[in-house]
A and B are shown apart, each in its own frame.
Chain A
């Protein structure tokens, strides 16, 4: 569904990605892990057309690099950015409504909102509240819900579990599972390596802007290299 080859990405003169190859298969959860500053977010931004790139990015056979950022959503791809990127002084409902701004999703706004409220009943209670007044977990729900409002074929999540209490993390991964069951393909970037790999069919490890490992989630979980690279993190998780 999403095919990335020889991808390089740049911030001005600075090169952040050096020839990355990744394939996301329809109906699967694919995760990307790696240390801080490895270029994970940059990779996602490249897909959404927010950074200058070279190489190939294809979504359902279309060359995303030729399509301006604001038209990419309309192809059925939603990106929930790192740090949530909410509109802080808009209400929860307004935030969600903007998730279905694109022409493809506008007619289904009411239906999709019902779906999102079904996934996150909590948000219905907070509907009229300004986004910045919510708790961290609730804000993350709004961010994911806003992404789902376009009923995307591919949902991109950048570190959704960051800053969440352990209980909320479990809720989050349950929701990811449920979203996938409803037919949404998920591309997930996580620092919570263990959980991410458990939830994924395929996974990639990137470091310093290049891919160092790939395989199925369970393969990587067994991989000694990965154990080594993420010893600290992994042990935290194993407990």
Chain B
């Protein structure tokens, strides 16, 4: 039952979902040098969007992903345009406290609007599973993993192969020079923030299928996201994917092997952060 390969696969599957959200966080940091404490709240909003689209209109959370992005993306746009943009040239303290403030506003607004109940979208394939050799995996988790890794790969291709990707990387590396190339840097920041929020929202949609959504779910995820981006090196997209898979696997192991281990997730994140920063502050994988 609890064989090694099963534990490994469970961890990798959940890591695929973590990857999406972590990429969003690392992208904003890489391009804008802002660590976005409100990132988790876009995941939470995405989760609620897909939950309500499912319960009110019966649209499958996977199919409603474009709609979820359409609902959450504009919120990201507003937040960047009217709030975060104002502290782009400010110090870290102001940037962190501002995004933290936004996070608190969104969390508590959600608490008032949606109550503190844990909800999830009970899709028809929620309890079906497939067995491949020694491992059994839930169909929903498999789909979520596929989407997570697929979208991550797509984003990576866009970043490395297209003009807009080049532009994003240019702004990340030298924003003044980017301006001298005729790049509208503020617009790139907006784009980055909206893409990042959308990735988190997709992650939230997947969460509504395979786990639960509640007003504080974003906070739970951001602690994991921090661990992941520190593992992978802040600002690195491939690093974030590897970090996410690694964290998923470690959580899966601890959750299975340690008695009551499932409750220790945030503890694992903390250990991952400390250990990484102590031994390799630039991240374990050393990719740019």
Contacts and interface: CB of A to CB of B under 8 A. Distances in A.
Q: Do any CB atoms of chain A lie under 8 A from CB atoms of chain B in the complex? A: yes
Interface of A: 48-50, 68-74, 78-79, 81, 85-90, 94, 97-99, 101-102, 146, 150
Interface stretch (B125-133, B179-187, B193-201): B179-187
Given A70-B184, A71-B182, A73-B182, A98 B176 contact: no
Given A71-B182, A101-B183, A150-B182, A85 B163 contact: no
Contacts of B174: 85-88
Shortest beta-carbon contacts, A-B, top 7: A73-B182, A85-B177, A102-B182, A70-B184, A87-B173, A69-B179, A98-B181
Nearest to B288: A89
Contact of A86 (B166, B177, B185): B177
Given A89-B173, A90-B173, A70 B167 contact: no
Contacts of A49: 179
22 contacts: A48-B180, A49-B179, A69-B179, A69-B180, A70-B182, A70-B183, A73-B181, A74-B182, A78-B180, A81-B180, A86-B174, A87-B169, A87-B177, A87-B178, A89-B169, A97-B163, A98-B167, A98-B178, A98-B181, A99-B181, A101-B167, A101-B182
Contacts of A94: 166, 169
B170 interface: yes
Contacts of B184: 68, 70
Interface of B: 163, 166-167, 169-170, 173-174, 176-185, 288
Contacts, number: 66
Contacts of A70: 179, 182-185
A95 to B, nearest CB: 8
Nearest to A104: B182
Nearest to B171: A87
Nearest to A88: B173
Contact of B181 (A68, A88, A101): A101
A225 B178 CA distance: 39
B180 A73 contact: yes
A69 B187 CA distance: 13
Contacts of A73: 180-182
A98 B173 contact: no
B179 A98 contact: no
Contacts of B163: 97, 101
Contacts of A99: 181
Given A48-B180, A74-B182, A150-B182, 20 more contacts: A70-B179, A70-B182, A73-B180, A73-B182, A85-B177, A85-B180, A87-B177, A90-B166, A90-B170, A94-B169, A97-B166, A98-B166, A98-B167, A98-B170, A98-B178, A98-B181, A101-B163, A101-B167, A101-B182, A146-B181
Nearest to B184: A70
Most buried by B among A88, A98, A102: A98
Nearest to A74: B182
